[in-house]
Amino acid sequence: MKSSLYPPVSLPNLLLAIVLVVTSFVLLSATIHRSSYLPSVPSVEPPPERAWPMVWASYSNEPPEPKYFQEAGNTLEMSHYDIRFFQGVIPYSQHREVLQHLIRSYLSIMASLKMETWIAHGTLLGWWWNGRIMPWDYDLDVQVSLHTMEHMAKQFNQTLHEWRYTTDEGGEGVHEIKKTYLLDVNPNYSEMKRRQGMNVIDARWVDVDTGMFVDITALAERNPVLEPGIWSCKNFHQYRTHNIWPLKETRFEGVKAKVPLDHERILVAEYGEKSLVLTEWEG
């Protein structure tokens, strides 16, 4: 009898081999089955901002979130015009004057209406440096408490406000200019969560001649039980009560204004320590 080329197979080894073969087959079948339902993912640019509600809805049970405020476009410049009043891009040489009267009118009229508000974000950084808007800014940012936002919504939503000022530009001598601004409150302002990020701006102060605007966001204690004294907006900027109040009275662009009490700490947290040192931005 010839000797076998293979060692004798014991029953336990045979059973183990069968189990391994069956397991490998099941895993391979599952992989083929799963991959057959995965579409190929091409390398493409991220969808524009307004497509994100649909993308979000495809991965969650939430329906797409309608965006209340609509801008004239998706570029940095065009995103700072309200599409309802957009008449064309303001030349760089003129846009600062438009922003100046936007913030002057807002701060002055809010004070006359006894509504507490303060400047924030990049606008606050401009105040810290020289009490004026940064030359490269496209937008203006202010904040209010949720209580003040509720008052805005109930008493002044969709109201038009007149602002008059004098100028001697244009070679016509001193003459008066009349401007009109719209206070528009987002109906989603009371939503405590960010959701899909389409309504993080709670209200706007809009120049009806140009479409440029001031962004107004509300701070609220969003979790007063577990995080008392922590205030935030829907864009995840967080502050402690003593960082904001009592507000400090000052001036900005020549009119009375208010800023948070701990403004330097807030600016460093948002923009880094270099923001209070560097004197140039992108050259």
Is the model's pLDDT at 7 over the cut of 90? no
Provide the whole-model pTM: 0.78
More confident residue, 211 or 23: 211
In this prediction, residue 15 carries a pLDDT of: 60
The ranges assigned to domains in the chain are: 49-276
Mean pLDDT, residues 167-191 taken together: 88
In this prediction, residue 8 carries a pLDDT of: 56
pLDDT grade for 174, boundaries at 50, 70 and 90: confident
Q: What 3 state SS string does the chain have? A: CCCCCCCCCCHHHHHHHHHHHHHHHHHHHHHHHHHCCCCCCCCCCCCCHHHHHHHHHHHCCCCCCCCCCCECCCCCCHHHCECCCCCCCCCHHHHHHHHHHHHHHHHHHHHHCCCCCEECHHHHHHHHHHCCCCCCCCCEEEEEEHHHHHHHHHHCCCEEEEEEEEECCCCCCCEEEEEEEEEEECCCCCCCCCCCCCCCCCEEEEECCCCCEEEEEEEECCCCCCCCCEEECCCCCEEEHHHHCCCEEEEECCEEEEECCCHHHHHHHHHCHHHHCCCCCCC
Is the model's pLDDT at 37 over the cut of 50? no
In this prediction, residue 63 carries a pLDDT of: 81
Mean pLDDT, residues 96-107 taken together: 96
